[in-house]
Amino acid sequence: MTQVLAVALAIDLLAFAGAHLSLLGSLIARPPRYRGFVALLVPPLAPYWGWQDGIKARVFVWTAALGLYATGVAVLAFSQSPR
C-alpha cells in the first residue's frame, strides 16, 4: 500500500511540475514577460498572475495537482507513523 502511495505521489508531483511549467510558459509568452521568471522563483505567483491573465484552466490544473500532492503527502505520513 505504501509503495502505491509513493508512486501516486511521484506521478502527481510530475503533474504539478508540468502544470507549473505550462503556466510559466504562458506567462512568459505574454507581456510583461518578467512575471514568468519571477513566478519561477516564487511559485504561488504563477496561479495568481495566470488567473489575472485569463489562463484559468491551467490555474485549476495547478491548484488541483498541488492539492492532490499535499493530500498524498499527508496520507503517506499518517500511514507510516507509529501507532
- Reported as a single tens digit per residue, the pLDDT across 9-68 is 999 999 999 999 999 999 999 999 999 999 999 999 999 999 999 999 999 999 999 999
> Which residue range(s) make up the domain with 70?
8-80
Residue 40 is given by DSSP the state H
**Distance between CA atoms of 35 and 53, rounded to whole angstroms?**
11
Instruction: Give the CA diameter of the chain.
Output: 53
Look at residue 32 in the predicted model and tell me its pLDDT. Answer: 95
Domains: count for the chain: 1
Contact 62, 46 (CB under 8 A): yes
The C-alpha cell that represents 67 in the structure block: 492539492
Would you say residue 2 lies in a domain?
no
Between vectors from CA 55 to CA 73 and to CA 43, what angle results, nearest 5°?
40
Would you say residue 3 lies in a domain?
no
